[in-house]
A and B are shown apart, each in its own frame.
Chain A
Amino acid sequence: MIGTSPEGVARQELTQARYGYAFALPAMLLIFGIILGPSLVVIGISLTDYELGALDWRWVGLGNYQEMLGDRTFWRSISNTFTYVAILVPSAVLLGLAVAIMVHARTRTKRIYEVIYFLPVTTTLVAMAIVWNFVLHSKIGPVNAVIVALGFEPIGFFSDRDVVLFSLALIALWQLIGFNMILFIAGLSAIPQDLYEAAAVDGADGWVDRFLRVTWPMLGPTTMFVVVTTTITAFKVFDTVAVLTNGGPRGASEVLLFSIYLEGFEYFRMGYASALTVAFLTFILLFSVVQAWVIDRNVHYR
C-alpha cells in the first residue's frame, strides 16, 4: 500500500551505503570484541584436553567430537532440549499474542493487566526456585492439593520423568507470557489506527476480518522477532534445570546447556565442554537462520 520509492540517484545511494557501513561499524566492532572473538577461543579449546588452571594440555584434534557422538548423555540431552523447545515455543508465542491482543483492547483495565502479567519478569530466580519447589511440591504443594481435591491423582512435577519437562516449560511460560505480551503490545501500539478505519471502509467487518487483514500482517515483523527470540530462549534453558531438578529424575531434564555446565563446571573438562558448546551453537544457529528465513519469506512488509 506504500508507493514505490522515488527514482534514486546513484550518488545518493552511494552516500547512503557509506552511512550504512558507518552505522553498523560500532555494533560490529563490539560483536567481534565481546562476543565472537572470545567465542572463537572456545572452538580452539574444543580441540584440546584442557582442564581449567592446568599447565599442560595437548591437542586432541576431533577427539572430543568423536567422544561426544558416542556419548549417550549427549543424545539424551539433545532429545530433551528439542522436546522442551517444542513444548514451550508454540505455547509462549500464542499465549503471549492472545494476552497482548486481549489486554491491548482494554481501556480502563489495560494498565493493571499489563502490570500483573509483567510481574514474573521482575522476579529473581534464587527466590522463585524456592517458591516453585513448594508450589509444585509433589506431596504437599497447593497445586497438588487442588488437583487432589478435584479427584485426580497428585502429579510428581519434578519427580516424574514424563512430566518434568512440562513442569520446567510451565515455569518458563510463566515468565515468557508477560515478556512476549510486552513485545506484542509494542507491536500493536505501532499499528496506525487509520489502517483499521481504511479496512472498515474496504468492507472488513468482524474481528476475524480485521485481525487477518490488518493486525496479523502488520504484526508480522514482531511475530517473527518473538518466534526467533523465544526459540533461542527455549534452547538456552539452564537456570531452572540447575536449581530445580539438577537434570533429574534420572537425566529426564538434562538439557544441552546443563550438560555443558556439568562437563565444564562440575567435571572441569573444558575441552569436552567446549566441543558440546560448539555443537549447541551449531544447532541453535541453524534453527534460527532457517526460522528467520522461512518467516521473512512469508511476512510481507506491506
Chain B
Amino acid sequence: MKFTLKLLAAVSVITMGFAGPGAAQDKTKLEVFHAWAGHQRFHKPIAEEFMAQNPDIEIEFRAPGADYGAAHLSVLRASLADDLPDVYYSGYHLLPPAARILSEREVIVPLTDFIAAEGDGWIEENYAPNIIALGAVDGVQYAMPFNASTPIVHYNADLIRQAGGDAENLPTNWDELIELAAKINALGDETYGMSYDAHNFWDDWLFQALIKQAGGRMMNEDETAVAWNNEIGLDAMKLAVRFVEEGGMPLITKEESVTLFCAGKKGIHFTSTASVRRFGECSEGNFEYVTGTYPVTDTENGGVPTGGNAAMILTSDKKKQEAAWRFVKFVSGPKGQEIAVLGSGYMPTNKLAAGPDYLGDHYENFPNWTTSLKQIERAQTWYGYPGTNSVKIGRVQMEIFAELMNGDLTPEAALEAMVAETEALLPRN
C-alpha cells in the first residue's frame, strides 16, 4: 500500500515535470533533514509558520539523525542511493567534508546566485560577516547559518554568595574566575568549584576556545603547521592545570559534570549557550542560575569557536531549488530565528531577530539568554583541520589533555605531545 502510494507520487512528480507548471499538482514538496530528535521542538513550528506564509510549499521532515555525525553519514549514504533530502542542516564542523563530497557529486547547490538575486545589501542587513562566514566552504557560500552557539560560563549564584563572592559582578578574566572557583570549592566536601570539560567533550571545541580566547589561531596561514606551539599553547595547558588544582575541577565524565551542576553542587560550569534553557529548567526552585561571557585574555583579538548547524540545498530540480531557497531564507531570517532561539537557547544567526519585533522582550525578561549576544562579535569559525583527520585530531588531543589534567604530564610535555600528535595526523605534502 505504502509502496504503491510512493510509486504513484513518484510517477506524478515525473509527469508533472514533463507537463511543466500548471499541472494539477500545485504544491512543491520539500523534504527536510536535521540532526537531534530534540530539535523538532523548534524545527516543526518554524515549518508550520513557513507553510502558513507559503501555501504553495509543503515541508515534510525526515526522521532526525541521532547526532551530527549520524546525520552526516545518513546524507552521504543517501547520496549513494540517490535519495537525498532537499534541505539538510549540517553541523558546522562537518560542513567542509559534506560540502566537498557533495559538490564533487554535483548535488549541492551553491547559494551564490540566490544571494545575488536578493539584491545589494541584503546580506549586510541580515547577517554579521563573521556569522555568514560560518556557512562558507572554500570561499563558496554553500549553507545558511541556522543554529549558532558559543561557549559561555554558567554560574550557581547561590554558591557564589555563600563563598563570599559577588554574583552581580561576575569574573571577567581567568584569575578572577579561578579565584572564585577556589572559594566555592572550599565550601565543603560536597561542593565543587568549577569544571572545564575539555578532556572528555565530544570534540575539540573547548580546547579551541582556550587558544582562540588568547588571540591565537589553530594553524598557520598556509596550513602547514599548528599555530599554538608557543606561549599561547603553553598558557592554555597551564590554565587547564589550574582549573583542576586551584579551581577544584573534578575529573568526571561530561554527563556527570552536567548533573553535578544541575544538582546545585558546582559553582562554575563551562559549556555552550545552548544549555541555558536546560539549566534554567533544572535550577528552577533549587538555586539561582546566572550566565557570564567567556573570559578572554586578549580582549583585542580574542575569540570563541562557534558550534551549531547550517542549512544547505541538495535538490537538482529547479522548481524545488527555488522553493528550498525560500525556506532556507526563512529559517535563517528573523522569524525563523526567533522560534529557533526560544526553543533552545542558541544565539540568533540573523541580526534582525534580536530586535524588539522578535526576541527583544524575551531577552529583557531572561537576561541569561543574552550572554551569547554580548560576545557575538567574538564568534569565530570552529576550525576544521586540513585533510580528513579533523575529528580524530580532536580525540587524540582530548586524551593528552586528560593526562595533563590528571597530573600525568607537565604542561610543557603535554604541549609537545599535542603538537606532535596533531601534526602527525595532518596531510603530508
Same assembly: yes
Residues 400-422 of chain B: 1 if any A CB is under 8 Å from the residue's CB, otherwise 0?
00110010000000000000000
Q: How far is the CA of A250 from the CA of B102 in the complex (A)?
A: 34
The answer on a CB contact under 8 Å between A249 and B73 is no
The answer on a CB contact under 8 Å between B402 and A249 is yes
The answer on a CB contact under 8 Å between B70 and A265 is yes
Q: How far is the CA of A167 from the CA of B399 in the complex (A)?
A: 20
Query: Residues of B contacting A104 with CB < 8 Å?
Result: none
Residues 239-274 of chain A: 1 if any B CB is under 8 Å from the residue's CB, otherwise 0?
000001110111100000000001001111100000
Q: How far is the CA of A262 from the CA of B398 in the complex (A)?
A: 14
Residue A52 CB within 8 A of the other chain? yes
Query: Residues of B contacting A158 with CB < 8 Å?
Result: 252-253, 256
The answer on a CB contact under 8 Å between B265 and A139 is yes
Query: Residues of A contacting B105 with CB < 8 Å?
Result: 53, 55
Query: Residues of A contacting B388 with CB < 8 Å?
Result: 51, 267-269
Query: Residues of A contacting B399 with CB < 8 Å?
Result: 250-251
Name which residue of chain A comes closest to B396, CB basis. Answer: A73
Selected from A52, A134, A159, A266, the residue in CB contact (under 8 A) with B251 is: A159
Residue A34 CB within 8 A of the other chain? no
The answer on a CB contact under 8 Å between A268 and B97 is yes
Could you say which of B190, B200, B403 has the most chain A C-beta atoms within 10 Å of its C-beta? Answer: B200
| Contact count band on A | 20 to 34
The answer on a CB contact under 8 Å between B251 and A249 is yes
Q: A139-B192, A250-B402, A268-B97 in contact; A53/B76 too (CB < 8 A)? A: yes
Residue B374 CB within 8 A of the other chain? no
Within 8 A of A (CB), among B347-401: 388-389, 391-392, 395, 399
Within 8 A of A (CB), among B255-286: 255-256, 259-260, 263, 265
Query: Residues of B contacting A120 with CB < 8 Å?
Result: none
Q: How far is the CA of A268 from the CA of B392 in the complex (A)?
A: 10
Q: How far is the CA of A139 from the CA of B250 in the complex (A)?
A: 9
* B104 CB → nearest A CB, Å: 5
* A102 CB → nearest B CB, Å: 35
Residues 78-118 of chain B: 1 if any A CB is under 8 Å from the residue's CB, otherwise 0?
01100000000000000001000110110000000000000
Query: Residues of B contacting A52 with CB < 8 Å?
Result: 73, 76-77, 80
* B196 CB → nearest A CB, Å: 15
Query: Residues of B contacting A250 with CB < 8 Å?
Result: 399, 402-403, 406
Q: How far is the CA of A133 from the CA of B399 in the complex (A)?
A: 21
Name which residue of chain A comes closest to B392, CB basis. Answer: A267
Selected from B101, B190, B259, B403, the residue in CB contact (under 8 A) with A137 is: B259
Residue A79 CB within 8 A of the other chain? no
Identify whether the interface residues of B are mostly helix, strand, loop, or mixed.
helix
Q: How far is the CA of A138 from the CA of B260 in the complex (A)?
A: 10
Q: How far is the CA of A266 from the CA of B67 in the complex (A)?
A: 11
The answer on a CB contact under 8 Å between B265 and A159 is no
Q: A53-B80, A54-B104, A139-B192 in contact; A133/B252 too (CB < 8 A)? A: no
The answer on a CB contact under 8 Å between A159 and B256 is yes
Residue B17 CB within 8 A of the other chain? no
* B362 CB → nearest A CB, Å: 29
* A41 CB → nearest B CB, Å: 12
Q: How far is the CA of A269 from the CA of B77 in the complex (A)?
A: 14
Q: How far is the CA of A140 from the CA of B286 in the complex (A)?
A: 16
| Contact count band on B | 35 or more
The answer on a CB contact under 8 Å between A265 and B76 is no
Residue B69 CB within 8 A of the other chain? yes
Name which residue of chain B comes closest to A261, CB basis. Answer: B69
Query: Residues of B contacting A262 with CB < 8 Å?
Result: 392, 395
The answer on a CB contact under 8 Å between B259 and A133 is yes
Query: Residues of A contacting B406 with CB < 8 Å?
Result: 250
The answer on a CB contact under 8 Å between A140 and B263 is yes
Query: Residues of A contacting B69 with CB < 8 Å?
Result: 265-266
The answer on a CB contact under 8 Å between B402 and A133 is no
Q: How far is the CA of A91 from the CA of B253 in the complex (A)?
A: 27
Query: Residues of A contacting B250 with CB < 8 Å?
Result: 138-139
Name which residue of chain A comes closest to B98, CB basis. Answer: A53
Q: How far is the CA of A171 from the CA of B104 in the complex (A)?
A: 45
* A53 CB → nearest B CB, Å: 4
Q: How far is the CA of A266 from the CA of B403 in the complex (A)?
A: 23
Residue A221 CB within 8 A of the other chain? no
Residue A156 CB within 8 A of the other chain? yes
The answer on a CB contact under 8 Å between A140 and B259 is yes
Q: How far is the CA of A250 from the CA of B388 in the complex (A)?
A: 23
The answer on a CB contact under 8 Å between B252 and A139 is yes
The answer on a CB contact under 8 Å between A140 and B97 is no
* B260 CB → nearest A CB, Å: 6
Q: How far is the CA of A268 from the CA of B97 in the complex (A)?
A: 10
Q: How far is the CA of A9 from the CA of B125 in the complex (A)?
A: 93
Q: How far is the CA of A248 from the CA of B190 in the complex (A)?
A: 24
* B275 CB → nearest A CB, Å: 16
The answer on a CB contact under 8 Å between B391 and A266 is yes
The answer on a CB contact under 8 Å between B391 and A246 is no
Name which residue of chain B comes closest to A129, CB basis. Answer: B255
Selected from B76, B251, B260, B395, the residue in CB contact (under 8 A) with A140 is: B260
Query: Residues of B contacting A140 with CB < 8 Å?
Result: 259-260, 263, 265
Query: Residues of A contacting B79 with CB < 8 Å?
Result: 53
* A263 CB → nearest B CB, Å: 8
Could you say which of B101, B200, B256, B388 has the most chain A C-beta atoms within 10 Å of its C-beta? Answer: B256
Q: How far is the CA of A82 from the CA of B74 in the complex (A)?
A: 31
Q: How far is the CA of A251 from the CA of B397 in the complex (A)?
A: 12
* 12 A-B residue pairings within 8 Å (CB atoms): A51-B388, A54-B104, A55-B104, A133-B255, A137-B260, A140-B263, A156-B252, A159-B253, A246-B202, A266-B69, A267-B388, A267-B391
Could you list which residues of chain A lie within 8 angstroms of chain B, going by C-beta atoms?
A: 51-55, 133-134, 137-140, 156, 158-159, 244-246, 248-251, 262, 265-269
Besides A53-B76, A159-B252, 4 more A-B contacts (Cβ < 8 Å) are A53-B80, A55-B104, A137-B260, A265-B73
